[in-house]
Amino acid sequence: MRRVVIVGYGMAGARLADELRRRDPDVSVTVVGAEPHAAYNRVLLSTVVAGAMTPESTRLHDDGWAAEHDVDLRVGWEVVEIDRASRSVTVARKPAPGTPATPSAAATVAAATPAVAAAAPAATPATADQAPAASAPGPATESIPYDALVLATGSTPWVPPAEGLTEDGELAPGVVAFRTLDDCAQIETRAQKGMPVAVLGGGLLGIEAARGLAGRGCLVTVVHPVGHLMERQLDPGAGGVLARTLGRLGIEFRLNALAAKYLPGDGLILDDGSHVPAELVVVSAGVRAETSLAVAAGLTVDRGIVVDDALRTSDPRIHAIGDCAQHPGTVSGLVQPAWDQAAVLADRLTGANPAARYRGTSVVTRLKARDVDLAALGDVHTDVDCPDSEVLCFQEPSRGRYAKLVLRDDRVTGAIVLGAPDAAATITQLYDRGIPAPTDRLALLLGRALPAEAASPADLPSSAVICRCNTVSKGQIVSAWRAGAESLPQLAEATRATTGCGGCKDAVCGLLDWLGASQPATA
């Protein structure tokens, strides 16, 4: 029996385990996860911070998942060494809160991979969604053989080098990262209504964290070193309109500014000498691929673990997916590439499709922030005077609207759509399918000229992608409905639609309504 060991029980690792089981019920699957929780959807963490969703509702697997699918799940364990010669990994049980590590475990961690030991997060109290496996008795360390090893170790928060933000390698009191479910628990405990809070980072996650905190009634200031927000996904015009929109929701911004010093309980001193009051500082300034295991094992590492189109590292028995992997077609920090990679790798490891290759992911970025509808896709930084492209731009800052459309040969190659959800939906369909855009470009940009095939669910082609996070088409949803998945939860379980960012929920509900009205189930 082929043995697959997955290092990491985050979104990428959990998805790969699911994909392996979908293809082959007999392959041996072991999943090792350092966090004390069942896998959860990180995309929804800002909603948890805002208090609009419980931690339990973000779970990707229930307590019985591992037993039901015959998966050896090690929650609360970490891999401390990869032995490529013997094709095995050494795993160590993380100590329970408030208890020292056993001498054997501590010695193994210190001797095998000092970087991993130093970077490992402190153990946190068990929560309602902690998997039972985390508390099972057994040895402190164990060696697990593998035929194929998959590194899905994700990424870790990057902390700006401001004086006082860290103490002895840990975040200082009053400073919290925004990366994990335990981070959310800390933020929820500390953040109080009317409390001044500073968020370091005006990228996608920083804006989502700021909106969640503002939703809790905090007085939020975002400190960002660039002149406009979300510079990876937005141009300066869109970044300015987004800042104005968020400003009306109570969020303030300090752009082109760096935190120079943290004063506990008082706030931040910026590099220009100004002061930002803050009783809590939330760090969301970017992430770095977690590569310490790969480095210790002698694998080729650059910004991440270097992989080819087969998702192989420099050791063909070891693969990497998700945020820790570096592939030319990967956009780090987003869930869709990780899930595309999981599908390709499952095809290969089970033999379902040995020719499967990962060629990159065409990403549509959506901001998950209440009262803000923003989508960005493709090449958004093309200038309006670019001779090789047709570029249209419309902005109405007072109403929080900004739209930019980039076309080449009548095809959409990039777009930013803020405050115009109808236009975003149509443009995304055109982008996904690579079909010519309507000749009335302005009407398209404003969401007033829907192509005929997008006028209603009935007119959408079967191949139209409804859920981008999981690449679920209309045809797949219709097939699942006809097979008995007649409610939203049933469709989500059968197809995974709506289980990513949740942005497709309205579209899926529209399809459900149409199916129920036009194709009623028969007794």
- Using one digit for the tens of pLDDT, what is the confidence trace for 236-284? 999 999 999 999 999 999 999 999 999 998 999 999 999 999 999 999 9
Location of each CATH 3.30.390.30 domain in the chain: 373-455
Question: pLDDT for 436-464, tens place per residue?
Answer: 999 888 888 887 755 444 445 666 777 67
pLDDT band at 476 (very low <50, low <70, confident <90, very high): confident
Q: What is residue 113's predicted lDDT score, i.e. its pLDDT?
A: 32
Q: Is the pLDDT of residue 329 over 80?
A: no
Question: pLDDT for 60-73, tens place per residue?
Answer: 999 899 999 999 99
Q: What is residue 83's predicted lDDT score, i.e. its pLDDT?
A: 97
Strands (E), 346-400: 364-366, 374-378, 390-396
Contact 104, 140 (CB under 8 A): yes
Q: What is the pTM of this model?
A: 0.82
Measuring CA to CA, which residue among 341, 354, 480, 365 is closest to residue 415? 365
pLDDT band at 57 (very low <50, low <70, confident <90, very high): confident
The one-letter amino acid at 248: R
The one-letter amino acid at 28: S
Q: Show Cβ contacts of residue 443 under 8 Å, excluding neighbours closer than 6 positions.
A: 449
Q: What is residue 409's predicted lDDT score, i.e. its pLDDT?
A: 93
Measuring CA to CA, which residue among 404, 446, 384, 442 is closest to residue 421? 446
Q: Higher-confidence residue: 17 or 469?
A: 17
Measuring CA to CA, which residue among 462, 482, 457 is closest to residue 472? 462
Q: Higher-confidence residue: 364 or 98?
A: 364
- Report the alpha-carbon distance of residue 335 to residue 328 in Å, rounded: 16
Least confident of 38-42, 204-208, 459-463: 459-463
Question: pLDDT for 379-399, tens place per residue?
Answer: 999 988 888 999 999 999 999
Residues pairing with 3 in the sheet: 28
Location of each CATH 1.10.10.1100 domain in the chain: 461-523
Give the total residue count for the chain: 523
- Report the alpha-carbon distance of residue 206 to residue 286 in Å, rounded: 9
- Report the alpha-carbon distance of residue 347 to residue 421 in Å, rounded: 35
pLDDT band at 213 (very low <50, low <70, confident <90, very high): very high
Contact 277, 287 (CB under 8 A): no
Q: What is residue 128's predicted lDDT score, i.e. its pLDDT?
A: 35
Out of 3.90.25.10, 3.40.50.11540, 3.20.20.140, 3.50.50.60, select the CATH number for domain 3-155+288-350. 3.50.50.60
Strands (E), 300-435: 305-306, 318-320, 325-326, 364-366, 374-378, 390-396, 401-408, 411-418
| Percent of the chain whose predicted confidence (pLDDT) is above 70 | 85
Q: What is residue 501's predicted lDDT score, i.e. its pLDDT?
A: 63
What fold, for 461-523? Arc Repressor Mutant, subunit A (1.10.10)
Q: Is 275 helix (H, G, I), strand (E, B) or coil?
A: strand
Q: Is the pLDDT of residue 130 over 70?
A: no
Contact 194, 217 (CB under 8 A): yes
Element (H, E) at 33: strand 28-33
Parallel, antiparallel or unpaired: strands 390-396 and 374-378: unpaired
Q: What is residue 119's predicted lDDT score, i.e. its pLDDT?
A: 33
Element (H, E) at 518: helix 505-518
Q: Show Cβ contacts of residue 431 under 8 Å, excluding neighbours closer than 6 positions.
A: 362, 364, 377, 378, 412, 413, 415
Please give the structure tokens belonging to residue 434: 């690579």
CA atoms within 13 A on the CB side of 336: 22
Q: Show Cβ contacts of residue 458 under 8 Å, excluding neighbours closer than 6 positions.
A: 514, 518
The one-letter amino acid at 522: T
Compute how many other C-beta atoms are within 10 angstroms of the C-beta atom of residue 64. 9
Q: Which homologous superfamily does the CATH classification assign to the domain defined by 373-455?
A: FAD/NAD-linked reductase, C-terminal dimerisation domain (3.30.390.30)
Q: What is residue 434's predicted lDDT score, i.e. its pLDDT?
A: 87
Q: Show Cβ contacts of residue 364 under 8 Å, excluding neighbours closer than 6 positions.
A: 336, 375, 376, 377, 428, 431, 468
Report the mean per-residue pLDDT for the chain: 85
Contact 311, 317 (CB under 8 A): no
- Most confident range, picked from 7-16, 91-100, 118-127, 511-520: 7-16
Q: Higher-confidence residue: 518 or 123?
A: 518
Contact 32, 91 (CB under 8 A): yes
Please give the structure tokens belonging to residue 44: 């929804």
Q: For residue 484, give Cα distances in angstroms to 107, 413, 490.
A: 54, 38, 8
Please give the structure tokens belonging to residue 334: 């987003």
What fold, for 166-285? FAD/NAD(P)-binding domain (3.50.50)
Strands (E), 313-358: 318-320, 325-326
- Report the alpha-carbon distance of residue 367 to residue 243 in Å, rounded: 13
Q: What is residue 100's predicted lDDT score, i.e. its pLDDT?
A: 45
Contact 476, 496 (CB under 8 A): no
Compute how many other C-beta atoms are within 10 angstroms of the C-beta atom of residue 396. 14
Residues pairing with 33 in the sheet: 75
Contact 361, 329 (CB under 8 A): yes
Mean pLDDT of 284-299: 95
- Report the alpha-carbon distance of residue 343 to residue 51 in Å, rounded: 33
Parallel, antiparallel or unpaired: strands 170-171 and 166-167: antiparallel
Contact 29, 17 (CB under 8 A): yes
The one-letter amino acid at 280: L
Location of each CATH 3.50.50.60 domain in the chain: 3-155+288-350, 166-285
